[in-house]
Amino acid sequence: MYGASGFIGGALCRHLRAAGHDVRAPERDEIPTGGLGHVVYAIGLTGDFRSRPLATVDAHVTALTDRLRGADFDSWLYLSSTRVYRGLGSGTASEDAPLEVRPTADGLYDISKLLGEAICATVDDERARVARVSNVYGPGAHSDSFLGMLLADVAAGRDITIGEAPGSSKDYLAIDDLCRMIEHVAVAGRHRLYNLASGVPVTHAEIASVITRETGRAVSFDPEGPTRTFPRVDVTRIRAETDLDPAHLLDRLPEMLATWRTTR
C-alpha cells in the first residue's frame, strides 16, 4: 500500500488487515524491492492541490513512475479520480467516455491524474489497473473538502454559507464501500479501468435540507454562486462484478452530523 498515511490509504490498510490480508505500508520515500503482491497506489493530493501544483505532479506522476519502474507485482491499482469527467457536462460518464481537459492551473489535477493513468496503461500487463474514485466521505476525511468544511461549520457553530448554487451536485462514496470495492478490483478485477462511485449525484440543496432538518440551522447560498455539476458516474462495471450496494450520503448524513456535534 503506497500512501497509507492518507485518509483513503489508512482506511484501506485497516480494512484489509481486518479481512485477514498481510499489508505492507512503506514510508513515503521508501521503494520496496522483490515481490510486492497486490499493490494499491494511493499517493495523492486533494483539496490543497491548487496551492501545491508541483507536489501534485510529483504525487500523481513522478512517485508513481519511480515505484512502477521494474516492479514485480501480482496486481497494481492506481487510484485516480472521477474529477476527470468534469468537462463532459450532463449525461452519464462511463469508463470509456472521451475526456476533455484544459491546460490551466485548475486543470493540473485532472491532467496529472490522467498522466498517471496513461503510465499504468503503458504497462503490458492486464493486472495493472486504474480506479477513478469519486468524493469519499467518512471518519478521518479531510476537513478541506466541501463536505468536511460544512461539517466543521456545523460543529463550530459558524454561519453556514455555500458558495455555489443549490443545484450544484457531486457523487459521494462512503469510505467503507470504497475499501470493499478496491479490495475486489485489486485481487479479482476483470477490467483495467473502473469507476468507483455511488452512481447517485447529490445536490447541495439536498445536503442543506438535511443539515437544517437535523440541526435547526439555516444554510444560505451565495446568490451569485455558480452551478457546478458533474455527469452521473456509470458504475455498471463494478456493480456487475460485486454485490455491493453503496450507501447513500443523505442516509448517512444525520449520523455524521450528530458525531461532529458531539466530538468537535
pLDDT at 262: 52
Global pTM? Answer: 0.94
Q: Is residue 48 part of a domain?
A: yes
Mean per-residue pLDDT over the chain, rounded: 92
Say if residue 239's pLDDT is above 80. yes
pLDDT at 42: 96
Percent of the chain with pLDDT over 70: 98
pLDDT at 43: 94
Percent of the chain with pLDDT over 90: 77
Binned at pLDDT 50, 70 and 90, residue 231 comes out as: very high
Q: Is residue 60 part of a domain?
A: yes
pLDDT at 243: 86
Read off the pLDDT of each residue in 134-160 and give the average, rounded to a whole number: 89
Q: Is residue 136 part of a domain?
A: yes
- Residue 66: count of CB within 10 angstroms of its CB: 12
Q: Is residue 81 part of a domain?
A: yes
Torsion of CA 171, 175, 178, 179, to 10 degrees: 170
Closest CA to 132 of 112, 115, 114: 114
The pLDDT tens digits of the residues spanning 41-67 come to: 999 987 677 778 899 999 999 999 999
Task: Supply the range of the domain harboring residue 173.
Answer: 7-263
Q: Is residue 2 part of a domain?
A: no
Q: Is residue 124 part of a domain?
A: yes
Read off the pLDDT of each residue in 113-135 and give the average, rounded to a whole number: 96
pLDDT at 164: 96
The pLDDT tens digits of the residues spanning 159-168 come to: 999 999 999 9
CA distance 263 to 210: 19
Q: How many domains does the chain have?
A: 1
pLDDT at 87: 83
Say if residue 261's pLDDT is above 70. no
Q: Is residue 1 part of a domain?
A: no
CATH number at residue 174: 3.40.50.720
Q: Is residue 134 part of a domain?
A: yes
The pLDDT tens digits of the residues spanning 167-214 come to: 999 999 999 999 999 999 999 999 999 999 999 999 999 999 999 999
Say if residue 237's pLDDT is above 90. yes
